Amino acid sequence: MTKRLLRLLTVLFGWALLALPVQGIAETPFPTIIEPEGKKCVEPEEVMRREHMEFILHQRDETMHRGIRTSKYSLAECIDCHVQPDENGNIATHKDEEHFCNACHQYAAVSIDCFECHADKPQKYIQRNRQTALQQQLEQVLASTADKVGDQK
Amino acid sequence: MSEKVCETAVKAQGVDQSRRDFLGKSLAVAGTITVAPGVFLHQTAQAKPDDQPVTGEVRWGILIDTNKCAKGCTDCVDACNEEHGLTGSMPKSSDAQRTQYIRKVTLREKATGHEHSLPMLCQHCEHPPCVDVCPTGASFKRVDGIVLVDKHICIGCRYCMMACPYKARSFVHEDLTDQTLASPRGKGTVESCTLCVHRVDKDGTPACVEACNQAEHNAMIFGDLKDPQSDISKALKEQGGKQIRADLQLNTGIRYQGI
């Protein structure tokens, strides 16, 4: 009787051991979060994880409508710290898995709209090509001067 | 008929002005604090701290002297495009669709053939029609008189574009990336001149005015229309300034001379 019980237990334990890695593979892997360099966040990590959207939303309305321009909860400040180029000098866009925001948001299946309008990387890494810019500007001006001669009443 | 309308408008403004003066004086009295007998502490105009909201004690405006505005000069337009990252940001759009916060408009008088040029931008009206028609409240006027689009709540219906008598607004038709800090902008929303609100909040001058003055054209004066001591108010008092489509009684913040 004891022998049979022991055998049953061994089998069960064996199954449990086998099941563990299988379960591990079946789950969506937790995103790898790129650590920002050397600085401390404006709030503790656990607060930011749960409340960051509240902070950003509040700041957004304050800045837009009341002109309050403190930098503590500014989205630009988040980006400046959390989005950095990798060792090859490439910066992930908000659609890549490597982007700080998108890493978690993809995992949580929550889409973000911020980067439809806001830059998804720090300003210092944005290359503004002045040469093509000036050329296009010239073309625009040349094209528009022709049809912008109106008549004064 | 139109003269009569103008007259009423002037009268209405006169009434407003006297009330404003009265309020201004009472505020000035309130602002003067007695520290000790014979010693007064006056409030002086200072840059707004970042954590303070804007107030309705100011109203920002620009006075443009079209006599100094050269035909073919696009210094203000270029500076604006640079500041807001407009240049080359919409390669797929047509010229008519592409965003321009400032357009140079050439006017020709039929009788004499005399031509002159002026920059046309959002007029930052006191009674903005774009705000009246907006179904979501995205188009709004800040208390300091700057008319803006809150793109967070703009649904891109473009009613405001139809309502604006100055054709000052544009719609973004394509996906954008790498926007400037000054001007977050994206597909599906309406946009227009912000009077460089990001600079104004830091006690600065709009990019167009700065560029015009830097190039020594000095055709634009930026300032507080409510402060009688500001350059713009003094110039308006001495030389006057016209509103475009004054008949609409929108009381625009942008005034023109020489038209």
List CB contacts (< 8 A) between B201 and chain A: 67, 69
Q: How far is CA B6 from CA A131, B3, B226, in A?
A: 49, 5, 21
Per-residue pLDDT of chain B (259 residues; tens, 9 = 90+): 444 444 444 444 444 555 555 555 554 444 444 455 555 444 445 568 888 999 999 999 999 999 999 999 999 999 999 999 999 899 999 999 999 999 999 999 899 998 989 999 999 999 999 999 999 999 999 999 999 999 999 999 999 999 999 999 999 999 999 999 999 999 999 999 999 999 999 999 999 999 999 999 999 999 999 999 999 999 999 999 999 999 999 999 999 999 8
Helix (H) or strand (E) holding A152: strand A149-152
Q: What are the domain boundaries of chain A?
A: 45-142
Torsion sign over Cα B22, B24, B28, B30: positive
Q: What is the DSSP string of A33-81?
A: PPPPSSPPPSS-HHHHHHHHHHHHHHHHHHHHHH----STT-HHHHHHH
3-state SS, residue B61:
strand
Q: What pLDDT digit, counting tens, does each position of A3-55 carry? A: 777 787 776 666 766 665 555 556 778 888 777 766 789 999 899 999 999 99
Would you state the structure tokens that stand for residue A38, as one six-digit string?
Answer: 């050397």
Would you state the structure tokens that stand for residue B96, as one six-digit string?
Answer: 């008519």
Going by the DSSP 8-state scheme, the letter that residue A31 receives in this structure is: P
User: Are residues B120 and B66 in contact, defined by beta-carbon separation less than 8 angstroms?
Assistant: no
* Closest CA–CA distance from residue B58 to any residue of chain A (Å): 13
B93 contacts chain A (CB < 8 A) = no
- Which of A57, A60, A61, A64 should one mutate to test binding to chain B, selecting the residue with the greatest count of B CBs within 10 A? A64
List CB contacts (< 8 A) between A95 and chain B: none
Q: What pLDDT digit, counting tens, does each position of A68-118 carry? A: 999 899 999 999 989 988 889 899 999 998 899 999 999 999 999 999 999
Give the closest residue to B55 by CA, choosing from B66, B47, B65: B47
List CB contacts (< 8 A) between B115 and chain A: 149
Rounded to an integer, what distance in angstroms lies between the CA atom of residue A127 and that of residue A116? Answer: 18
Instruction: Using an 8 Å CB-CB cutoff, list residues of chain A that contact chain B.
Output: 60, 62, 64-71, 76, 93, 116-121, 123, 126, 128-129, 132-134, 136-137, 140-141, 143-145, 148-152
Q: Which of residues 48-67 of B touch A (CB under 8 A)?
A: 48, 50-54
User: Are residues B243 and B252 in contact, defined by beta-carbon separation less than 8 angstroms?
Assistant: yes
pTM (two decimals): 0.75
Give the closest residue to B116 by CA, choosing from B165, B66, B164, B81: B66
B247 contacts chain A (CB < 8 A) = no
Would you state the structure tokens that stand for residue A98, as one six-digit string?
Answer: 């490597």
Q: What pLDDT digit, counting tens, does each position of B72-119 carry? A: 999 999 999 999 999 989 999 999 999 999 999 999 989 999 898 999
CATH 3.30.70.20 residue ranges of chain B are 47-257
User: Are residues B93 and B174 in contact, defined by beta-carbon separation less than 8 angstroms?
Assistant: yes
3-state helix, strand, coil in chain B (%, to 5): 30, 20, 55
* Closest CA–CA distance from residue B6 to any residue of chain A (Å): 18
List CB contacts of A37: < 8 A, sequence separation 6 or more.
A81, A84
Would you state the structure tokens that stand for residue B149, as one six-digit string?
Answer: 């689009």
Neighbour-count burial of B32, counting CB atoms closer than 10 A to its CB (0-12 exposed, 13-18 middle, 19+ buried): exposed
Name the CATH architecture for the domain at B47-257: 2-Layer Sandwich (3.30)
Rounded to an integer, what distance in angstroms lies between the CA atom of residue B206 and that of residue A144? Answer: 24
Going by the DSSP 8-state scheme, the letter that residue A124 receives in this structure is: G
ipTM for the complex? 0.77
* CA angle in degrees (0–180, nearest 5) for B150-B151-B155: 110
Straight-line distance from the first to the last Cα atom of chain A, in angstroms, rounded to the nearest whole number: 110
List CB contacts of B210: < 8 A, sequence separation 6 or more.
B79, B204
